[in-house]
Structure 1
């Protein structure tokens, strides 16, 4: 007899979003693996639920080491419930490693779906939802962040990001450089909470708003994809140029070849590449 591993979504704000299935699983699971055990107990108290099994910590610093311990419980016939502080485990949160290990071991894995900051932000953004991608948190270092955004400059799908409030202004400014200031976007703050706010505007306008005062709370940023009719932006070509330079090609030679192949101004491309390297 084998048990099962269950990933369960927890409320991202409003405790009333907790599903009946989550409530039952918290009382029935043999082991509850929580990203933060104190937050889990606080959530259970607000839900009026008594956790029935053993509670263990399962976070980014111990998930690899603890995965086998959790799977031993499943293999012996027990139910292991994995929860994070908010939203769905394994989506920009711990959970992927234990799921991968369970799949490799042939053990049952299922999910109790529920609240998702990604889908909630996407739905409220007012931007196209038929095709989208989730990019999570961008790199913290300015150069790495700019490079990541430049690689996404030609992405046609709507993009969803997470960001810390104290880095939001810098993130939006980098998006202005990579995508252009007129790219439609939405900043979603404190979703499902008392002070929920969704600001929809071009990226440049959102950057000015974020820089004008302190922004607080949990932040999701949704950005429209590149227009179908838009020519390949210089920012995207810069990525190709710098990739060639990283591979050993001289900057001027890389600029010349990329500019000739795309009909782009060599002077503009060279200046953009120098600015990005700096």
Structure 2
């Protein structure tokens, strides 16, 4: 019988956040796959866990996954941990989970700390709808441009990760592309010097002109409001005449009645207003 892959969430700073279930699973597993064994050995030593470890990280995530799958198929139980938080979130564990599922191996997740959710709940921004972007892909200019174009129109609250030495570059990029949005910067989450700074992108840039960024950051960024999106649409369509607007829909094969509804919605006016406009213009031209 094949073994099970356990995704074990570990503390993001405060060791008291280690759950009993995760501790028990790390103790009973045949092997622990860790993103950085040098970092994880400190955690294991703190809790007196002596389970053997092997490295599983960004640079061996495919090759090593085959080896781990072979062990799982041979009946070994493996616990996967990341440096901090929940494995497979902006993490090479994503690849191992996918390959295990394709191989028919059972994967289960032991919930616990996650920096993205912790920051979101502290942000003071809307938590009803949100999206997680992880790290912006600065090494790929084409991909970065595509991601920023999507984020520019995103109406949900946006969660990003960033390292201290790239923070200012990221804030500048977001300010340039998205405008002056509200943002909450979180660092040292769950630790003694936890910092949660609600501000704006512009004010954050001014702040870091004299304050060097320190620690890993979670950025929680306000999405574009629906009202703002509607206003932008109305401004675009206001530069078109109603006749041109109607024609753009009718040229797509949409009948006049439905086109009137769409034009009214686009322009933020009633369908009756569109109808009355056409009545007056027909009368004027006849």
Relative to the length of structure 2, the TM-score reads 0.77
- Given that 1:146 and 1:174 are in contact with CA atoms closer than 8 Å, whether structure 2 keeps it comes out as no
Matched, 1:166 2:165: yes
Alpha-carbon offset, residue 147 of structure 1: 5.2
Structure 2 Cα separation of the partners of residues 178 and 101 of structure 1: 36
Q: Where does residue 140 of structure 1 map in the other structure? A: 138
Instruction: Give me the whole-angstrom Cα distance separating, in 2, the residues matched to 1:233 and 1:139.
Output: 28
Please name the residue that 2:40 is paired with: 40
Does residue 4 of structure 1 match 2:30?
A: no
Counterpart of 2:193? 195
Deviations 1:89-116 (A, max 9, x none): 1101121111111111111110111100
Corresponding residue SS for 2:226: coil
Number of residue-to-residue matches in the alignment: 234
Q: SS of the residue aligned with 1:229? A: helix
Shift of 1:213: 1.6
Cα displacement string for residues 10-54 of structure 1 (whole angstroms, at most 9, x for unaligned residues):
1110011111111111211001101011111111122x22223x2
Give the deviation of 1:137 after TM superposition: 0.4
2:146 and 2:104 map into 1 onto residues whose CA distance is: 39
Unaligned runs of 5+ in 2: 237-265, 268-286
* TM-score, length-scaled by structure 1: 0.79
Equivalent residue, structure 1, for 2:241? none
Over 3 Å counting, the alpha-carbon distance change for 1:154 and 1:59 in structure 2 is same
Does structure 2 retain, via aligned residues, the 8 Å contact 1:12–1:115?
yes
Q: Which residue does the alignment assign to 1:103?
A: 101
* Structure 1 unpaired stretches of 5+: 238-261, 264-278
3-state SS of 1:114 partner: coil
Instruction: Report the Cα distance in structure 1 between the residues aligned to 2:202 and 2:108, rounded to whole angstroms.
Output: 42
Does the alignment pair 1:63 with 2:61? Answer: yes
Q: Is the 8 A contact 1:21 1:112 kept in 2?
A: yes
Structure 1: how far apart are the matches of 2:146 and 2:66?
Answer: 37
8 Å contact from structure 1 (residues 132, 157) kept in 2: yes
What is the distance in 2 between the residues matched to 1:123 and 1:223?
13
Cα offset, 1:142, TM superposition: 9.4
Out of 83-92 and 143-152, give the one that drifted further.
143-152
For the Cα contact (< 8 Å) 1:165–1:219, is it kept in 2? yes
Counterparts of 1:1-278 in structure 2, within 5 Å, are: 1-46=1-46, 48-52=47-51, 54-140=52-138, 145=144, 148-181=147-180, 183-231=181-229
RMSD: 2.1
Q: How many angstroms does 1:139 deviate by?
A: 2.2
Contact 1:64 1:97 in 2 (8 A): yes
